[in-house]
Amino acid sequence: MGRLLAFAGPRRALTFLGCALSALSMLAGFGPYVCIWFAARDLIAVAPDWTAAGSIAVYGWWALGFATGSIALYFAGLMCTHLAAFRCASNMRKRAIEHLMHTSLGYFDTHASGALRRVVDGCAAETEGLLAHKLPDTAGSVAMILGMLALFFAFDWRLGAACLVPVAVSLCCMVYMMGGRGMDFMTRYMESLVKMNKTGTEYVRGIPVVKVFQQTVNSFRAFHDAIEEFTVLAQDYAVKWCQTPQALSLTVIGAAAVFLVPVVVLVAPGETDVARLSTNFAFYAIFSAVIPTAMTRVMFMSEAFQSAADAVSRVEGVLAAPVIAAPAAPKEPRDTSICFDDVSFAYEGAEEAALGHVSFTVPAGSTVALVGPSGGGKTTAASLVPRFWDVGSGRVLVGGVDVRDIDPAVLMDHVAFVFQTNRLFSQSILENVRAARPQATREEVLAALSAAQCDDILAKLPDGVDTVYGAEGAHLSGGEAQRLMIARAILKDAPIVVLDEATAFADPENEVKIQAAFKRLARDCNGRPRTVLMVAHRLSTVRNADKIVVLDRGHVVESGTHDELLASDGLYARMWADYEQAVSWKISSDAAGEVA
């Protein structure tokens, strides 16, 4: 509760006030019943001369006052707890979002956006019900139990003691059901539920695979088994474990009045005020079941506390995500060069380093290509320039300054990154491109789109540049989406461009257009060359680079121009030979197809 209420700030006091008001409301709620008890006692005492009972109207007004007061207190309490709950949930969301804004971008590679959304939004929502309703209701239930016990012993301690018998039996049943082996059952039940949800999600995600490979639903045995396991556990818990104590508890609560009978039989012969004894018997018979009911409500609160604790832990997990530390004394990059100075880097939890002692330079205004076998570390190296991750050791310099000493906003202004994967929002194409520079005019966006060879894409979309991406009919191929991302980078007009796998998805027609878009991107709006660090698989795209750096298993194995690398007859020369063979194979098979 402390960790949760810390999110409510000064409004946490309202939670305590709300609970106190709810408890008071419950105590005030006893008022009408006590008034009824007094009225009944007076009426029985004067029976059958009912008119002799002169205070009945007074009791009536008091009862009305208590009832109205109880409702008013309850509403005031709920108002307080709601104000605190909403502030708590909104602060949870705000703090998580704010923190994510300062988290290294690499964090989003390892944490799925859907899961993060569920944490930020879903977990905050989960705590609302606990703080707004369950907590004040529990305070009310506790007050009810204590108030009832006090009343029971105030009116007639002998009948009060008799009422405790069903309470004690019911309590024992609940402890039996929820403690010890019952708790074991509960833990296994929760684990089984989580497993079922997890395998269910995997199953839904895997439906395309089931279809493509003509698999039957039975191929997802894990999901089926998880459902079976959950069913058996739930049935065992309900039938084998809870059936007897639950039945016993319900029986003693329902028949609570029975426990009063022996007491009345024992005390009645010596009782002088029979009217009072009869009224007490009626009162106790009616209200003896209230305490076990309130106790059940309090005990089931533990489930709500458990799920709120889980929600708070998840939000705290997001808040613990590493942030990009802003430098105390930021420095300005002196030019647009990039330099890797003995850089090593390992992903969190990875056994092997993704990069080891990598050094190379991209002089201002030049184009350097990173090539090498899959998993060699190209994407990782490119990601270190805009600080998606921070290096383990060594330095990445931009304009001669360590990127960790540059203000993150200034670094982002200097570097445009074209992502490997499609990062388009469900907004219009115009807004998607404008995300790079929100103050850009419509004309500037259109010019950037045109420079990125996107005219054919706009022509085929129903509303041109105003078409919402992802809406009906507005889907783009991988190559087309990449051209839009190049348009973004062109609009951003940053002096340094990092291109990651920019041609990985392209078909030949798209590739020609992407090449043209690259050419345009490689020069700024005044025609001056930008600094380009390019990750590429297709060797044709890197042939004209000023320098090619070959990365293999995280190490620079060679570097130089295309011709120099061919002459040195190393890994690049072998890759080039393979590439040429693949191209000639493709041409000959195309030609064979044409002849046929």
Return residues touching ligand ATP (CB under 6 A): 109-110, 347, 350, 354, 372, 374-380
Tokens of 538: 């297709």
Q: Retrieve residue 126's tokens.
A: 């989960």
* 350 vs 459 by CB, closer to ligand ATP: 350
Residue-wise burial string across 350-360, b where 16 or more C-beta atoms lie within 10 A, e elsewhere = eeebbbbebeb
CB of 382 to ligand ATP, least distance (A): 8
Q: 369 — phi, psi (to 5°)?
A: -110, 140
Q: In whole angstroms, what is the distance from residue 330 CA to residue 409 CA?
A: 11
Residue closer to ligand ATP, measured from CB, 337 or 380:
380
What pairs with residue 395 in β-bridges? Answer: 341
Q: Is the separation of the CB atoms in 93 and 31 below 8 Å?
A: no
Compare residues 176 and 345 and give the one whose CB is closer to ligand ATP: 345
- Smallest separation, CB 376 to ligand ATP (Å): 4
In whole angstroms, the minimum distance from the beta carbon of 352 to ligand ATP comes to 7
In angstroms, the CA 386 to CA 406 distance is 10
Distance CA(474)–CA(461), nearest Å, equals 6
Pick the closer one to ligand ATP by CB: 328 or 350. Answer: 350
- Smallest gap from Cβ 212 to ligand ATP, in A, equals 23
Residue 374 or residue 439: which is nearer to ligand ATP going by CB?
A: 374
What is the SS3 string spanning 355-407? Answer: EEEEEEEECCCCEEEEECCCCCCHHHHHHHCCCCCCCCEEEEEECCEEHHHCC
Instruction: Name the 3-class secondary structure at 193.
Output: helix
Element (H, E) at 549: strand 547-552
Q: Which is nearer to ligand ATP, 92 or 535 (CB)?
A: 535
Q: Least Å distance between CB 202 and ligand ATP?
A: 20
**Min CB(354)–ligand ATP separation in Å:** 4
Smallest gap, in angstroms, from Cβ of residue 550 to ligand ATP?
11
What's the CA gap between 250 and 423, in Å, rounded?
Answer: 58
Question: Which residue, 396, 401, 389, 394, is CA-closest to 342?
Answer: 394
What's the token pair of residue 201? 């999600």
4 or 535, CB closer to ligand ATP? 535
Nearer to ligand ATP, 356 or 377 (CB): 377
Distance CA 116, CA 318 (A): 8
